[in-house]
Amino acid sequence: MKTLRLSLMALALVSASNSLRADDAKSKCDSACATGAGCCSLTEGMAKLPKLAYKVGETTLCCEESAKATAASGKTKLEYVVGKESFDSKDKAMVSLVEQTEKFVSAFATPSTCSVSGKTSIAGESLTCSVAAGDVASKVKKAMDSVAISYKVGEKSCSCPVEAKTLAASKKAKTVFVVGSEETECEHTARLNLAIAKYKAALIAMAPAKTEAKVQ
């Protein structure tokens, strides 16, 4: 009987320990979300990109672990949200996130002239001078073009998707998509990484121009 009591006490301690670790992880995750927004212009620009959020009932969270814990505790359905779209699975949401991000970045880099005001919007700027708008468009394009995707198959690297596919077939190995320091075997994640990297490059290229405009 004494042994049984000791076993039950040990089980309770383990359960409590696991619960504390889960709560700690949830707390750290929520804290990371809360401090995710910075104050610099680059951070502000990056914050405008489409994001994957998690909705539990009427509550929207940015942390998946916290959302899963909240859904489990209240036995409530977890929804994956991208913009105005909601999904019942993360895979579906990720496809939408990739597509929405690519559209956002494309629109950011594409000049659009208002027929009424005559102003041209490009890279978050609204300009009345067509020459200035052209200069901004050129600068943004150059920055984005400097970012490209490459491929790794085993120890072999290349920049051609056809070559990568051929290598993968001959070596019977997976293709790794590389964008900067980011590597992934998922094509959708690679597309997302590429769009984000191009957008970030454009923001960095635009930063000096915005600083000069404020000084003037």
Model confidence at 105, pLDDT cuts 50, 70, 90, reads: very high
Give the pLDDT of residue 212. 43
59 by DSSP, 3-state: which? strand
Q: For 163-196, how does the pLDDT look when each residue is reduced to its tens digit (9 = 90+)?
A: 999 999 999 999 999 999 999 999 999 999 999 9
pTM exceeds 0.85 for this model: no
Structure tokens that stand for 43 in this block: 């951070």
Strand partners, 177: 151, 184
Model confidence at 31, pLDDT cuts 50, 70, 90, reads: low
| Crossing angle between the packed helical segments 90-109 and 130-145, to the nearest 10 degrees | 140
Residue 119, amino acid: K
Q: For 121-140, how does the pLDDT look when each residue is reduced to its tens digit (9 = 90+)?
A: 999 889 999 899 999 999 99
What residue segments make up the domains of the chain, in order of their start?
A: 41-215
148 by DSSP, 3-state: which? coil
* Mean pLDDT score across all residues of the chain: 84
The span from the CA of 21 to the CA of 177, in Å, is 34
Strands (E), 5-77: 52-56, 59-61
Residue 80 near residue 64 (C-beta atoms within 8 A): no
